[in-house]
Amino acid sequence: MPRILIVEDEPAIADALIYVLKSELYDVVHVMTGAEALKQERQTTHDLAILDIGLPDMTGFELCRQLREMRGIPVLFLTARSEEIDRVLGLEIGGDDYVTKPFSPREVAARVKAILRRAGNTSHAVTTVSHDSELSLKIDESAKRIMLNEIALDLTAHEFRMASVLISHPRQVFSRDQLLENAWHDPGAVTDRTVDAHVKTLRAKLKATQSGAEEMIETRRGLGYSYSPLTL
């Protein structure tokens, strides 16, 4: 029975979700704050989290980030805001889907079912990319995470897709146009300098995780970028 964690501080909304999800035979846990959610996740694992963005002690975005540091749990956001910035930010930091209030609990249940089906219900498929290196890189396609020496990198969706392309083809040089085609849904809407900016932030996150790791992303002058494992 898939276990669902609901983090919602409005009892009426939470009760409606609990009722419909239990009718679908899900095991449901409800808490009202981000701190309680993190405590629950430390005590037991959940197959999916439904997060209200406007929590009393932290935003749903911050809670998503902290949950994703613990493990690659799928996340569905609930939001009363319809601005595009909220939707984009929620999905960029790792959200799998979102619904805007007011919503039908049955619609939420349908989205939960779809997310769990994509995630394989209770487990995430992890692809390990092994190299003769002290650095261990793992690509978790279901959770959209990349781990460096078992530490999850806090990547945006574009950084994840770009890094996945490079890591899956070590030492192969990719032009900026090739990376745009693989990492952006609408590559024509951005410029090749966008790739440079994302490479810069990716390197910074690698370096913050382990000094020297940023050198794995190489600049090939006049050609593009490549990934090469290192022995540190």
Give domain limits for the chain.
3-119, 126-227
**pLDDT confidence of residue 84:** 56
Burial 189-206, CB ≥16 within 10 A → b, else e: eeeeebbeebbeebbebb
What is the dotted CATH code of the domain comprising 126-227?
1.10.10.10
Using one digit for the tens of pLDDT, what is the confidence trace for 21-50? 998 889 999 999 999 999 998 888 899 999
3-state class (DSSP) for residue 36: helix
Using one digit for the tens of pLDDT, what is the confidence trace for 3-20? 999 999 999 999 999 999
120 — pLDDT class (breaks 50, 70, 90): low
Can you spell out the DSSP letters for 132-155? SSS--EEEETTTTEEEETTEEP--
Q: pTM of the prediction?
A: 0.53
128: pLDDT strictly greater than 50 = no
User: Under 8 Å CB-to-CB from 42, ≥6 apart: which residues?
Assistant: 70
The answer to whether domain 3-119 has CATH 3.40.50.2300 is yes
